[in-house]
Structure 1
Amino acid sequence: MKTYDAIVIGAGPGGYPCAIRLAQLKQKVLCIEKENVGGVCLNWGCIPSKALISAAHLYEKSQAGAAMGIKVSGVELDANKMQDWKEGIVKKLTGGVGSLLKGNGADVVNGTATVVGPKRVDVTRADGSVEQFEATKAIVIATGSTTIEIPTFKFDGDTIIGAKEAVSLRRIPKRLMVIGGGVIGLELGMVYQAFGAELIVVEALPELLTGVDPDCTKIVERKILKRGGTIHKNAKALGYEKQKDGSVGVKILADGKEQTIVVDTVLVAVGMRPSSKGLGLEKVGVTVDQRGFVPTDKFCRTNVPSIYAIGDVSGPPLLAHKATKEGEIAAEVIAGHKAEKDWVAIPGAIFTDPEIATVGLTEAEAKAKGLEVSIGKFPFSVLGKAMAMNETEGFVKIVADKKTKQVLGVHIVGPEASTMISEASLSLEMAAFLEDLSLTIHPHPTLGESLMEAAAHAMGAAIHIANR
């Protein structure tokens, strides 16, 4: 039996930073990965999807330059070459992660891990052999999450697919149905819509992107419809039948009526579930809740003191950057340093077209807490930089406490929203007030000016928009 200070199970955006940080802190660490280092994020999640989204934006922009006096003709999409380019990015990044683990002194083993004791892990290799490992200090569960499969729409890798297959399509479907109007479904659905697919979204709930500021969601919804898409809310996908020509007839219930919609591909994107089954956690006394999440305290510890859990498997929000931060925290705690989950808010970015980014409380959440709020809103339609980019959809919305003027939340929909939300996140972490944002000089002409203007607008002092 080989012995380490710590064993990390999973080499995704939570596991590999945890292992690297442990090694940096002079801990002897083993990282176990059953598939490829980088996890969902690098292999078929965050990075591959954003590569395709970038390609979709370029494809669309190349055909929309007439207003700027730029005429482009003969634009063609080579789906095979695009996928080769995307896979090159994935290979480079996953290779980089492997090098970082090795370079920092972490050992890596490929295989399926089973926790057999509070400080013991068995690893089953591809050839069926089993190796035993012991951790003198801690085991970290960083197994992430995987796509949820609907019993009536089991993945076949061809016509009924999940996100993993959706980022690797080498042909653009003419008609694409997305079951689930959440982040994954809309991001990937809008990619293929930009490439010419007819998009049909079927969402069981009353609104798309549940939990996101509805003002932001409306902008994205409008874009889908403007491109010729169809959205069914309060609707259910009941089942499907394959047609003779290879297409799929999907039966849905919408507005109290059943109808059949014929499409080429169905993307099932109804969410992610934690990957906690089969690890042996319950056998060693680790609490796993009804949804499969592993509850932890502020130090990332489970109810078993020597076992930690980080990232998606430990509970929402299921975000890569949250996993990375928890990985670093767990590593520092295990190594004897002072660290804990003490953030004010975790930002989220949705790479639809246009992008949505959010941090902190929404207007509805603040009011539900009994707070009286001031709202500042600045549209990109009157911002010089946005006009110069020919991307004027959306706005910046700031929610602040009306009495104290402290910033409670920021919600952005529009160009580069994912980039601008970082300043907003810092504002919340630093307990900033509206004056802090509005009095900070922002360079002109930039998209970032909209944060300054929105803050001023919340105080009735905006210069470039009428104040309430």
Structure 2
Amino acid sequence: MGDMTAKLLVVGGGPGGYTAAIRAGQLGCDTVLVERSRLGGTCLNIGCIPSKALIHVADTFGHAMEHARASPFGLEVGRPTLDFARAVEWKDGIVSRLNAGVAALLKKNRIRTVHGPATMLDGKTCRVETDIGPQTIRAEHVLLATGSEPVELPFLPFGGRVISSTEALSLPQVPARLVVVGAGYIGLELGMAFGTLGAEVTVVEAADRVLPRYDTELTRPVVRRMEALGITVLTDAEARGLAADGEALLVRAADGAERTILSDAILVAVGRRPCTQSFGLERLDLAMNGPFIHIDERCATSMRNVWAVGDVTGEPMLAHRAMAQGEMVAEIIAGERRVFDKVAIPDICFTTPEIVTVGISPAEAHQAGWEIRLGHFPFSANGRAMTKNAEDGFVRVVARADNNLVLGLQAVGHGVSELAAAFGLALEMGARLEDIAGTIYAHPTQGEAIQEAARKALGHALHM
């Protein structure tokens, strides 16, 4: 095979990589994208998209079960059943459609795509082992977007009944007994979904509470829902490995006692680590930030014309951060002046109910030395939430006390992930409490809770 040359070589076809390639193509840059597996990366294939599809299946099933027992408005339905294999097939169909969509966008923007594992030979050259032989690619610029992978515990290696989120999304059936090691967003999103579908779920968490990245006020409705589902939560507990028969998890409880938890599947969800192995990173003279590739405000690495975006560069490991970084790098390579200076990056936990945070929390504001105004508005006072039978939760706004500049917005409740757009826009536009309170929100919508929270912070909420 002949050598290929390009202005930009993108290594990794996940959200950061394919976004960079598409934008570069739009700007007229000759671009080659290398992806070892399926386009879309972790997010599209084995992460964000399939997990949300499974969560939707679980929520729909859960609603049907609730109405089969006792509907608040008189609906009578029979006890639902679920063909789980068909649900997985539906989920896989969504993934395939999106895969095809990414491929079409790359083709539309004249991006050459090479499939196979890439090995960097130097800062401008890589070799790809394709199905028809090795392919060498040389480029003026290289963008590393290799993503991340689940962390494996040495005493609970993946295999058999010990699974990562990848295998959890393609189980042949709902496990009768599921143990989740790790009560972060991945563990609880999937654990609650399977609990809703009928699994007996036990969560083992080393910290003293679930979802430790969020404050307890936000997580309280999630804990209530877990209790309603019958999920057992062991905090201050340490997973120790499999029992001798390989069918149970050994756990050291908070009181130091050892116990075994029978399981059909053990989902280990204790975090993700950057993919920095197997692509020749050692051949590049890159400064590192712990396990991550060090970048500056332009996503430039310590090597000239070598860039990096997404999970491989550190927290927050979020697809939308990677996409924004990839778009920016493409524009810089095309000659535009850009830096990554985002005021806020939305953080969403798709549990039931959902949690969304943008900007800083009250505790973080106090730690930064701000005097703040705080406004809460509960969904129990919101007409739209009441008409959806989704009253648990609230919207919270954090603002500076001296000039009412909004520092953060948070919410927990049914469907609040969709409020992330309004939250992010408010912070990026430098909104003050008066701006939010003075905006006309459509009635009846859950978004009205944003306005009422701002009014509450100003001292004059109208509907509570």
Do they fold alike, i.e. is TM over 0.5?
Answer: yes
Q: Aligned residue for 2:256?
A: 256
Q: Identity over the aligned pairs, expressed in percent?
A: 42
- The 5 A counterparts of 1:24-423 are 24-65=26-67, 66-126=71-131, 129-136=133-140, 138-156=141-159, 158-241=160-243, 243=245, 247-290=247-290, 292-423=291-422
In the alignment, structure 1 segments of 5+ residues that lack a partner are none
Offset, 1:234: 1.4
Tell me the distance in 2 between the aligned counterparts of 1:192 and 1:422: 28
**Alignment-mate amino acid for residue 97 of structure 1:** V
Tell me the distance in 1 between the aligned counterparts of 2:235 and 2:248: 21
**Alignment-mate amino acid for residue 416 of structure 1:** G
* Cα offsets for 1:297-319 (capped at 9, x unmatched): 11111010110000111111000
Tell me the distance in 2 between the aligned counterparts of 1:193 and 1:162: 17
Judge conservation of contact 1:240–1:251 (CA < 8 Å) in 2.
Answer: no
* Cα offsets for 1:376-422 (capped at 9, x unmatched): 00111121111100111111111111121111101100012110121
Structure 2 residue matching 1:296: 3-state secondary structure: coil
Structure 1 residue matching 2:66: 3-state secondary structure: coil
Tell me the distance in 2 between the aligned counterparts of 1:31 and 1:116: 16
Offset, 1:287: 1.7
Structure 2 residue matching 1:14: 3-state secondary structure: helix
Structure 1 residue matching 2:154: 3-state secondary structure: coil
Q: Aligned residue for 1:2?
A: 4
Tell me the distance in 1 between the aligned counterparts of 2:364 and 2:378: 22
* 1:283–1:195 distance in 2 versus 1, CA, 3 Å: same
Structure 2 residue matching 1:400: 3-state secondary structure: strand
Judge conservation of contact 1:37–1:97 (CA < 8 Å) in 2.
Answer: yes
**Alignment-mate amino acid for residue 53 of structure 2:** A
**Alignment-mate amino acid for residue 433 of structure 1:** R
Judge conservation of contact 1:248–1:265 (CA < 8 Å) in 2.
Answer: no
Judge conservation of contact 1:238–1:253 (CA < 8 Å) in 2.
Answer: no
Judge conservation of contact 1:360–1:428 (CA < 8 Å) in 2.
Answer: yes
Offset, 1:281: 2.4
Judge conservation of contact 1:251–1:260 (CA < 8 Å) in 2.
Answer: yes
In the alignment, structure 2 segments of 5+ residues that lack a partner are none
Tell me the distance in 2 between the aligned counterparts of 1:457 and 1:255: 43
Structure 1 residue matching 2:28: 3-state secondary structure: coil
**Alignment-mate amino acid for residue 107 of structure 2:** K
Structure 2 residue matching 1:224: 3-state secondary structure: helix
Offset, 1:126: 4.2
* Cα offsets for 1:75-94 (capped at 9, x unmatched): 10111000010000011001
* Cα offsets for 1:56-115 (capped at 9, x unmatched): 111111222311211110310111000010000011001111111111100000111111
* Cα offsets for 1:440-465 (capped at 9, x unmatched): 11111110000000111111100111
Structure 1 residue matching 2:7: 3-state secondary structure: strand
* Cα offsets for 1:25-44 (capped at 9, x unmatched): 11110000001101001101
Tell me the distance in 2 between the aligned counterparts of 1:25 and 1:85: 36
Tell me the distance in 1 between the aligned counterparts of 2:92 and 2:218: 32
Aligned residues: 459
**Alignment-mate amino acid for residue 353 of structure 2:** P
Tell me the distance in 2 between the aligned counterparts of 1:98 and 1:151: 37
Judge conservation of contact 2:433–2:455 (CA < 8 Å) in 1.
Answer: yes
Judge conservation of contact 2:358–2:424 (CA < 8 Å) in 1.
Answer: yes
Structure 2 residue matching 1:451: 3-state secondary structure: helix
Judge conservation of contact 1:412–1:421 (CA < 8 Å) in 2.
Answer: no
* Cα offsets for 1:225-279 (capped at 9, x unmatched): 1211111111110111264xx8424333333222111122110000100001222
Judge conservation of contact 2:203–2:233 (CA < 8 Å) in 1.
Answer: yes
Tell me the distance in 1 between the aligned counterparts of 2:75 and 2:164: 38
